[in-house]
């Protein structure tokens, strides 16, 4: 496999995608760092390099369809599907519930790879997996560019992330940055209308 952790971090730093400050993550947790994959993926050569590594890892799984949660995972999922020669679709939240829209569907037994840009608790990925199971598709793996949990997430299927880091995250009521008077910002896409 290609890129080492140091190379991946270098790509994030050089593109300005590794942010430092006080952030509200998609999970609702607070953190002093934020991986903004959109800033990396604005450069097609970076998107291809990262996604090629992840796609190659799942190549032997014979993936029919790559499914990603909107909005953050769409570019990642599309690029991995392109490399694998698979179909790319995404789920969206409707009234707070993850669902297939825009005419997307999956078939019973269809081989699915769920892909996300960044995971912390894995909540969005679990929602996508639930949608796939309800449609009787077969989730064969989960991939992510960055796993902020340090490898502690269990999706019940094989999980692989290009970069695994243990990044501190806090519930808002025990966040030391909040306690120090810092105001958190929310750079992610959850809650977009």
Q: Please, what are the averages of pLDDT over each run of 10 residues along the chain (193 residues)?
A: 84 90 88 90 93 93 96 94 98 95 97 95 95 98 93 94 90 94 81 48
Q: Phi and psi dihedrals of 52, rounded to 5? A: -65, -45
Q: State residue 67 phi and psi, 5-degree precision.
A: -120, 130
User: What is residue 168's predicted lDDT score, i.e. its pLDDT?
Assistant: 87
Kindly report the number of other CB atoms within 10 A of residue 135's CB atom.
14
Q: Phi-psi region for residue 36, left (φ > 0), alpha (ψ -120 to 50) or beta?
A: beta
Determine the pLDDT at residue 162. Answer: 94
Residue extents of the structural domains in the chain: 5-179
* Dihedral (CA of 140, 144, 145, 151) sign: negative
pLDDT for the residue 190: 53
Q: Is the pTM of this model over 0.85?
A: yes
Are 104 and 110 in contact, with CB atoms under 8 Å apart?
no
Q: What is the pLDDT of residue 189?
A: 58
The reply to whether CATH 3.40.50.2020 applies to domain 5-179 is yes
pLDDT of residue 84: 97
């Amino acid at each position: 496999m290609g890129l080492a952790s140091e190379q991946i971090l270098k790509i994030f730093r050089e593109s300005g995608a590794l942010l430092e400050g006080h952030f509200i993550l998609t999970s609702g947790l607070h953190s002093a760092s934020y991986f903004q994959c959109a800033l990396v993926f604005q450069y097609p050569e970076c998107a291809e390099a990262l996604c090629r590594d992840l796609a190659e890892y799942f190549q032997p799984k014979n993936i029919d369809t790559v499914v990603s949660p909107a909005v953050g995972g769409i570019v990642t999922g599309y690029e991995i599907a392109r490399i694998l020669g698979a179909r790319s679709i995404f789920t969206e939240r409707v009234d707070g519930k993850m669902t297939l829209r825009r005419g997307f569907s999956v078939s019973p037994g269809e081989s699915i790879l769920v892909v996300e840009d960044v995971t912390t608790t894995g909540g969005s990925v679990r929602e996508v997996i639930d949608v796939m199971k309800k449609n009787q598709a077969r989730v064969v793996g989960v991939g992510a560019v960055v796993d902020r949990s340090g490898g502690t997430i269990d999706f019940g299927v094989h999980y692989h992330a290009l970069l695994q880091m243990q990044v501190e995250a806090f519930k808002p009521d025990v966040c030391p940055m909040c306690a120090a008077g810092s105001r958190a910002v929310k750079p992610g896409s959850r809650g977009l209308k």
